[in-house]
């Protein structure tokens, strides 16, 4: 069965797939920062950081405000609750599958042990 993921989830996962963008989110979790501050922290050009911030902004994870020549970045109002819920559904599914696999392996071990005792006698 094919499940369709809303486009904003795709944008969020694409945004956080990059380690620099994850670092930017962590840094902005401590407070607002200018593009220049972020570029310096991550040893990047202003153009490179603007592109990273743009991806985060498109995903709704960051907001920017330009005052004069300074563009200030802040965490967006949208958190990652829906993304976390999506991940949690799959975590539960995989946990259930691994639990079932454990049950099958234990059952096979019991059968193997019981069969071994029968053939030795």
Residue pair 13/7 in contact (Cβ under 8 Å)? The answer is no
Using CA atoms, how far apart are residues 111 and 117, in angstroms rounded to an integer?
Answer: 10
pTM: 0.72
List, for residues 89-116, the tens digit of each pLDDT value. Answer: 889 999 999 999 999 999 999 888 887 7
Give the model's pLDDT for residue 114. 83
Give the model's pLDDT for residue 5. 60
Give the model's pLDDT for residue 3. 60
Nearest to 10 by CA among 94, 82, 63: 82
**Helix residue spans in 1-121 (DSSP H):** 7-16, 19-28, 35-41, 46-58, 81-120
Residue pair 63/23 in contact (Cβ under 8 Å)? The answer is no
Residue 16: pLDDT band by 50, 70, 90 thresholds?
A: very high
Task: Give pairs for 81-87: CB < 8 Å, separation 24+.
Answer: 82/6, 82/8, 82/9, 83/9, 83/12, 83/13, 86/5, 86/9
Give the model's pLDDT for residue 70. 93
Residue pair 23/62 in contact (Cβ under 8 Å)? The answer is no
Strands of 1-121, DSSP E: 33-34, 62-67, 70-75
List, for residues 17-72, the tens digit of each pLDDT value. Answer: 999 999 999 999 999 999 999 999 999 999 999 999 999 999 999 999 999 999 99
Residue 80: pLDDT band by 50, 70, 90 thresholds?
A: confident
């Amino acid at each position: 069965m094919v499940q369709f993921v809303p486009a904003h989830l795709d944008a969020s996962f694409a945004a956080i797939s990059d380690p620099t963008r994850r670092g930017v989110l962590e840094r902005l979790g401590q407070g607002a920062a200018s593009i220049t501050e972020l570029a310096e922290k991550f040893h990047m050009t202003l153009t490179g950081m603007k592109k990273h911030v743009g991806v985060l902004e498109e995903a709704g994870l960051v907001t920017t405000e330009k005052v004069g020549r300074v563009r200030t970045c802040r965490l967006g109002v949208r958190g990652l609750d829906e993304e976390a819920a999506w991940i949690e559904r799959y975590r539960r599914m995989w946990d259930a599958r691994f639990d079932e696999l454990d049950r099958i392996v234990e059952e096979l071990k019991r059968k193997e042990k019981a069969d071994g005792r029968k053939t030795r006698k």
